[in-house]
Amino acid sequence: MRLKEEIENLKKRKNIAILAHNYQLDEIQRVADIVGDSLELSLKSMKLDVDTIIFAGVKFMAEQVKVLNMEKRILMPDPGAICSLAHMISKEIVVEYKKKFPEAPLVIYVNAPTEIKALADYVVTSANAADLVARLDEDIILFGPDANLADHVAQKTGKKVIPVPPMGHCYVHLLITIYDVKKAKQKYPDAPIIVHPEVPREVRKFADYIGSTGQMIKIVRNINAKRILIGTETGMIYRLKREFPNKEFIPIVENAVCIGMKKNTLEKILYSLQNEVYEVDVKPSVANNVRKAILRTFEVLGVELPGFS
């Protein structure tokens, strides 16, 4: 309680906003000004009337917020909070595949380093990836770095979606196997199953609903089930319980935990507030290229972003 009070008082006094991803611990989500998925946090950060933002998530997400707020300081409570999936792709891999498929557009998932997104034709999230690819004229698409999401997009669009690299994956979502899903369904036969599109194909096939963390909120809001099985990082359960206290949420795999996400703690957030560390840095030229790719993506999707340039 003392830590929470100190954080609340200090962020108000310094006019610093705290953003937290859905996978953060419950106590971190509770001190945050905004909780959401990576896209939601990025877009809402642009409307904040503050000079400094502390981002509780992983590095690629904090960099994404910086790209859209170059005039603001973006701080990370722990600079070692990284996404292993994001680092499965490199500039060398991208160049190799672009040589093999020069006519194929490069679609990069937001879970990638900023330098890689700067090379992309389009930058997508798990929520809009299939919609974006479906609207492109090309039938062959380069998609990285998550191979399972690439497979999901291919299934949804009927296009040839080439994963870049072939085995890119989120280790947390690979922990959710078809064995776990069937076991959970056997124990809770009336509970619908919602999974993230980064899980393997056989798990997606068995699920009742597939969606990003933001989409999961909407799905839960629109179904009548009182008990729901959730197939994603367990931090999502905290937000679901807060927003839907009359429903029961059961993680399909209890140890589906992201080490990078959980590096953030209340103690580290307080230290970041007190000392105003650790700042995220993105080169202006890189940020400019990423913004162009994002804007191009939203133009294809037919979505207007007021004030976005």
Residue 121 binned pLDDT confidence (cut-offs 50, 70, 90): very high
**pTM value surpassing 0.85:** yes
Task: Give pLDDT, residue 238.
Answer: 98
Which residues, in sequence order, are bridge partners of residue 251? Answer: 230
Residue 306 has pLDDT above 80, yes or no: no
Q: Are 209 and 192 in contact (CB under 8 A)?
A: yes
Q: Do domains 2-82+261-281 and 176-251 have the same CATH topology?
A: yes
Mean pLDDT of 227-237: 98
Q: For residue 183, which of 216, 231, 223, 149 has the smallest C-alpha distance?
A: 231
Residue 309 has pLDDT above 70, yes or no: no
Domain boundaries 2-82+261-281, corresponding CATH code? 3.40.50.10800
Per-chain mean pLDDT for the chain: 97
Task: Give pLDDT, residue 308.
Answer: 58
Domain boundaries 86-170, corresponding CATH code? 3.40.50.10800
The pLDDT tens digits of the residues spanning 137-146 come to: 999 999 999 9
Residue 267 has pLDDT above 60, yes or no: yes
- Token digits of residue 196: 């993230």
The pLDDT tens digits of the residues spanning 164-198 come to: 999 999 999 999 999 999 999 999 999 999 999 99
Superfamily the domain 176-251 falls into: NadA-like (3.40.50.10800)
Mean pLDDT of 255-283: 98
Task: Give pLDDT, residue 304.
Answer: 80
Task: Give pLDDT, residue 39.
Answer: 85
Any idea where the domains of the chain sit in the sequence?
2-82+261-281, 86-170, 176-251
Mean pLDDT of 254-274: 98
Mean pLDDT of 226-230: 98
Task: Give pLDDT, residue 241.
Answer: 98
Q: Are 151 and 125 in contact (CB under 8 A)?
A: no
- Token digits of residue 58: 């992983």
